Amino acid sequence: MLSLSGPGSRMFYYPRKGAFRSGTINNANWDEDSIGIYSTSAGYDTKATGAAGTSFGIATNASGQGSVAMGAYSEASGSDGATAIGNGTIAQSYSSLALGMYNDPIASSNSTASVPTDPLVTIGNGSNALNRSNALTLLKNGNLGLGTNTPSEKLEVNGQVRITGGTPGAGKVLTSDANGTASWQFIPSTLFGATTLDSAYDYGGPGVGRIINATHGAVYVNGPDGLHVADSVGIGTTNPLAQLDVNGQIQNCRW
């Protein structure tokens, strides 16, 4: 049995549990019933109740089996290597890592088994224990969320994205080739599945003629300037023989 208990400054090894303690305590965190077997705890008001748990710093708590808590007010309750490092971080999910300050541990996390939709890594950017949030959340299924705790794809961003690599410029869009390599282009060959003007510009080759292939709805010309055509216009024909060549019937409602 431990000969000392309660508050005080001390350093001791407890052979009965194979545990080590060093530092200052102002409560009963180092009493026998709060010492996990094979655990290590050092600092100020630290606690390690989990088997083989480790806690260092100020008021840290390693309650999960094989868990680690370091920094200030951090807690590792997940088992098998769950690690909380920083200020007020919580590693609740099984074998997870929590960094930063006041992360959101996601209350539904399983602490004893690996669940694909549970956090693997969280980086907290909260302000206090009542206002927790994550700058980054990586789930065990490999999905990464920025600004969201529940990413449904390999990368999900809740917020604006800025990409400065390559050759960005006003009016350009980010598109990809068949291999998935992205690049900045003024108008891609396809945009959201719809054919754009560029996809039909070179009809018959440069200088031979141009055609707009409207595969996703009609083409409209808005604005006070209207549409100006410098040469022939063909309706129903790609080879107009006059300034206006209509291949078909004409119906007029008003002259």
List of residues 6+ apart from 69 with CB closer than 8 A: 46, 48, 53, 54, 55, 56, 57, 60, 61, 62, 75, 76, 83, 84, 85, 91
Per-residue model confidence as pLDDT tens for the chain (255 residues): 666 788 999 999 999 999 999 999 999 999 999 999 999 999 999 999 999 999 999 999 999 999 999 999 999 999 999 999 999 999 999 999 999 999 999 888 899 999 999 999 999 999 999 999 999 999 999 999 999 999 999 999 999 998 888 888 888 888 888 888 888 888 644 444 444 444 444 444 555 556 666 666 677 777 777 777 778 888 888 788 888 888 988 877 665
CATH code, 41? 2.150.10
* pLDDT for the residue 202: 44
Identify whether 135 is part of a domain.
yes
For the whole model, what pTM was predicted?
0.72
* pLDDT for the residue 9: 95
Q: What is the tally of structural domains in the chain? A: 1
* pLDDT for the residue 141: 98
* pLDDT for the residue 1: 60
* pLDDT for the residue 147: 94
* pLDDT for the residue 41: 98
Identify whether 174 is part of a domain.
no
Identify whether 236 is part of a domain.
no
Identify whether 200 is part of a domain.
no
Question: Residue 190, class by beta-carbon neighbours within 10 Å (0-12 exposed, 13-18 middle, 19+ buried)?
Answer: exposed
Identify whether 165 is part of a domain.
no
Identify whether 232 is part of a domain.
no
* pLDDT for the residue 217: 66
Identify whether 55 is part of a domain.
yes
